[in-house]
Amino acid sequence: MTPALLLSAPPRIIRDAARAVKRKVVLMIERVTAGTLSALLGLPGLVVTEYAREPRTGESEVLHLFCQHEHDVAVCPTCEQVSSAVHDSTERGIRHLDIWGKVTFVHFPARRFDCGHCHKPFREELTWLESQRRESTAYELHVYEQCQQTDQTSVAEREGLHPETVKTIFQRWATRAKRERQGLVRCLGVDEIALHKGHQHFAMVLSDLERHGVIAVLAERSQAAFEQWLDSLSEAERKAIRVVAMDRWGPYRGVVKAKLSHADAPAPPGRRPGTGAIVADRFHVTKQLNEAIAKIRCTLQAAAAPTAYELLKGTRWILVRNRAELKPEEEAKLQAVLAAFPELRQAYGLKERFRTLADKIHDRPRAERFLRVWLYEAEASGLLPLVKFAKTLRHWWDEFLNYFNEGFSSGVVEGLNNAIRAIIRRAFGYHVFEHFRLQVMVEQGQLTVSPPPI
* Terminal-to-terminal C-alpha distance of the chain: 13
Please name the residue ranges forming H helices in 260-281: none
Confidence of residue 270 (pLDDT cuts 50, 70, 90): very low
Quick check: 390 and 378 in contact, CB under 8 A? yes
CA 315, CA 345: separation in Å to the nearest integer? 13
State what percent of residues in the chain have pLDDT above 70.
87
Q: DSSP character for 60? A: P
Task: Tell whether the model's pLDDT for residue 11 goes beyond 70.
Answer: no
Residue 214, strand partner residues: 207
Under the banding of pLDDT at 50, 70 and 90, the label for residue 271 is: very low
d(CA 256, CA 188) in angstroms, rounded, equals 11
pLDDT of residue 283: 79
- One DSSP character per residue, 80-103 reads --EE-EEEEEEEEEEEEEEETTEE
In the three-class reduction of DSSP (H, G, I as helix; E, B as strand; rest coil), residue 58 is classed as coil
Instruction: State how far the Cα of 405 lies from the Cα of 274, in Å rounded to an integer.
Output: 6
Summarize the confidence of residues 293-321 as an average pLDDT. 87
Per-residue model confidence (pLDDT) at position 379 = 92
DSSP string for residues in 367-396:
HHHHHHHHHHHHHHT--HHHHHHHHHHHHT
Rounded Cα distance between 186 and 178, Å, is 19
The per-residue pLDDT for 198 is 60
- Residue 314 burial (CB count, 10 A): 10
pTM for this model (two decimals): 0.70
Q: What does the pLDDT look like over 232-246, one tens digit per residue?
A: 988 888 888 888 887
Q: How many C-alpha atoms does 240 have within 13 Å on its Cβ side?
A: 15
Q: By three-state DSSP, how is residue 207 classified?
A: strand
Closest of 259, 254, 226 to residue 241, by C-alpha: 259
- CA dist 3 to 127, 148, 212, 227, Å? 15, 15, 27, 41
DSSP 8-state code for residue 111: E
Report whether 195 contacts 425 (CB < 8 A): no
Q: How far is CA 328 from the centre of its chain?
A: 38
Give the tens place of pLDDT for each residue, 94-133. Answer: 999 999 889 999 999 999 999 988 888 999 999 899 888 9
Q: Hey, which residues does 208 pair with through a beta bridge?
A: 188, 213
Closest to 77 measured CA to CA, from 127, 23, 9, 135 = 127
